[in-house]
Structures are given as C-alpha cells and as structure tokens.
Amino acid sequence: MKAKILTGTHYMLGDHACAEGAIAAGCRFFAGYPITPSTEIAEWIARRLPLFGGIYIQMEDEIASITALIGASCGGVKSMTATSGPGYSLMVEGIGLAVMLEVPCVIVNVQRGAPSTGLPTLVGQGDVMQARWGSHGDYEIIAISPNSCQEMFDLTIKAFNLSEKYRVPVTILADEAVGHLREKVVIPPQEEIKIINREKPKEKPEEYWPYVPNENLVPPMAIAGEGYYVHMTGLTHDERGYPDITGEAHEKLVRRLIDKIQKNKKDIIEYEEVMIDDAEVVVVSFGITARAALKAIKEARKKGIKAGLFRLITIWPFPEERIAEISKKIEKFVVAEINQGQVRREVERARLNGVPVIGVHKLGGDLITPDEILEGIWKKQN
C-alpha cells in the first residue's frame, strides 16, 4: 500500500515539519550526516522516506553527502540534505559544483552558535554570508528563512519548487530555535500543494544540447539514463557541456548563471511587511528573531513610535530594491539578527540618502528579546 503524506493539523517539531515538507514536495533521496541541531530532520525522514519508495543514506561525512545529492538529482530524483554550520562549510565546494552543473537540490542549514564547533545546541544566525559567498567565484544562489514550524513545511516545498524551476541549489537558512520549536502545522491535501518539476527537453536526443537555455535562461534538463547524451564538467563549458576554457566562454556562462536568478527576482523574492505604510522606523529581521521584532514594533506603537517590520523570507537574492524604496520615506532602519551585522551590511548597501541603520546584534547562544529590539527602535528617537 502506497504511503500518503500527512494531512490535517499537527503539533510538530520544526525539523519534522521540514522533513514532511520535503516528502510532500516529492523529495525521494536524502543523504546526510548527523549534526545538531538538524539531526531530527534526518531521523524523521529516515523513517518516512522509505514508505514512499525513497532512499535515505547516512553518508560518512558532509562532503560525501552533497556529492551524493548531486548524483541523485542528475538521475532525476528530487534530493535534499540537512546540516548545520560546520557541515555546510564542508559542503560549499559541492554547492559550487551544483551551481556550475545547474543541478537542482535543497540544503537545509539549521544554524547554531559559531564559528567552528561553537555552540552545537544553541541558536545562531551567523551563516547568512556563508550561504551567499561560501563557494569561490561569482555566482547566484537562493536562500530562504522560515520563522515558524508552519514555514518549515511551506518553505521547504517552495525551496524544491525554486530549485527545480531555476536549476540551482537552494538553501533553507533555518535556526536552532525554529528547528527545535514545537507548534501547530497545517498540512493541506496533496492535490492542493503546488509542485514544480524541472523542465525536460522536447527535442530528440540527437538534437539535444544540455546547456541551451529557455526564455528564463534555464536549460531544460535531461535525465541520465533516458537516452539523452549528457556531458557535465565543473570546468567552464559550452552549451554542449564540453570544456571551453576561454574568457569569452566563461563570461557567457557565468553571466547566464547570475542572470537566471537576478532577472527572475520578482518571481523568487518573498518578504512580509507589517505596518510599513506609515512607519518612521522599520525593523528588518528574519527567522526566529523576526518574531521578537513583531512584538517590539507593537510595543513601540503603544509608546507613540510609528514602527514597522520588514521580514526577510527570501534572504538571497536580497530584496535591495524594496529596501531602497522604503528608505525614501523613513527616519531609520533597525536590523535585528543573531550575528554581528551580516544583514545590516546589506541594508546599509541598499538604503538611499544615508538613512541611519541601527544594529541589534548578539553573537549566538541567546535569543534577541523584544525589549532589546525596542531599545534599538528608541535609540536616538528622543
């Protein structure tokens, strides 16, 4: 008897909701290595995935995990891994390879206190820049940040959809607090869940070139073993997939890898705005910290300060145009994040007219409280 996805209302761990979201999105291959605080994803999916005909493999390390992910995806299977900062550090070379090969896959990073081994069981949000720039060279990826158990389910599905549509690795930048949170998760029937699958080639195998892009700058992807000739290499390559190590070929290829994300930002970027229209102070935040920020802006309103919240759901690509637009009509930004200012620097880069940017930061281990954010809102207000 074929298994069915869980439906209805559940009281669920965030990590478990992520695993269920992956299954609902069609993930049928998971390769990973246990690491706190993402291990519950692996444990849950190890039990559930075989019921759907999927495969779970515990690899010897994170380097092997990302490599197995790439291979499975090239074989036509939606694939995912889950890790935390130290494991993600080991994966970045493979993520760069997936970018170059244009292989869809999803990497969940449940962030903890860092650097190095850091604080394995405590919260952090310090891997934002690593997700964007961890590999070498110029490239674009997609990274999204859930702030609830419901979003751990919903955004995992979105991560797979974006990965398949744009043939790019997508990182889910969760954090320990959301991963280990338990709260209500509503899972709709399978037929109500929007699923996007990679575009396959329409031409005959003998007419197919693996890297000829469609109108969205994304090449249709043949599946290995279905009769199409596929050549893949981490070297700069032409549209046939053959190495072409000239400056001209490199410019053409890498520019398209960047443009397929940058020119489709309107389809990719998602954010939430709360009480922005009349705001004089806007708090920018993401993940678990955005929940504290929401309470902070409500308290600020009670004290007569017109505060609003801009919550990043998509962190990369960064919504710089919207930040610039907001900066035209406010007095200042307050950026709250459990790191020393990784998103703050992006806000400073995107703002216009030198609008002040106040940082509310912690190094990891403890949550940022609403009162601490309120202090940032109030700073220089009188």
Question: Is residue 3 one of the residues assigned to a domain?
Answer: no
Question: What's the average model confidence in pLDDT over 371-381?
Answer: 87
Looking at residue 91, which CATH number applies to its domain?
Answer: 3.40.50.970
Residues 287 and 155 in one domain: no
Together in a domain, 180 and 296: no
- Over residues 39-69, the pLDDT tens digits come to 999 999 999 999 999 999 999 999 999 999 9
Whether 212 is in a domain gets the answer no
Residues 37 and 166 in one domain: yes
What gap in Å lies between CA 145 and CA 151, rounded to an integer? 9
| pLDDT tens string 300-336 | 999 999 999 999 999 999 999 999 999 999 999 999 9
Residues 288 and 163 in one domain: no
Q: Do 288 and 171 have their domain in common?
A: no
Residue 373 lies in a domain: yes
Are both 297 and 178 inside the same structural domain? no
Please tell me whether residue 87 adopts helix, strand or coil conformation. helix
List, in order, residues 6 or more apart from 203 with CB less than 8 Å away: none
Average pLDDT over residues 338-362: 97
Section 90-101 average pLDDT: 98
Mean pLDDT of 347-362: 97
Kindly write down the DSSP assignment for every residue of 89-144, as one continuous string. Answer: HHHHHHHHHHHHHT--EEEEEEEEE-STT-EEEEE--TTHHHHHHSSSSS---EEE
pLDDT at 381 over 50: no
Tell how far CA 328 is from the center of its chain: 28
Q: Is residue 164 part of a domain?
A: yes
Say how far apart CA 293 and CA 371 lie, in whole Å: 9
Structural domain includes residue 235: no
pLDDT tens profile 252-300? 999 999 999 999 999 999 999 999 999 999 999 999 999 999 999 999 9
Q: How confident is the model at residue 382 (pLDDT cuts 50, 70, 90)?
A: very low
160 occurs within a structural domain? yes
* Ramachandran angles phi, psi of 12, nearest 5°: -140, 145
Residue 208 to residue 212: CA distance in whole angstroms: 9
Q: Is 1's pLDDT higher than 60?
A: no
Domain end among 145, 165, 192: 192
Structural domain boundaries, residue 127: 8-192
Q: Which of 168, 192, 216 is the last residue of a domain?
A: 192
Q: How far is CA 76 from CA 5, 95, 198, 333, in A?
A: 21, 18, 9, 44
Q: Where does a domain end: 192, 218, 234?
A: 192
d(CA 286, CA 267): 20
259, part of any domain: no
The domain tally of the chain equals 2
CATH code at position 284: 3.40.50.920
Residue 224 lies in a domain: no
What does the pLDDT read at residue 224? Answer: 85
Give the tokens for residue 337.
């994040």
Q: Are residues 174 and 281 in the same domain?
A: no
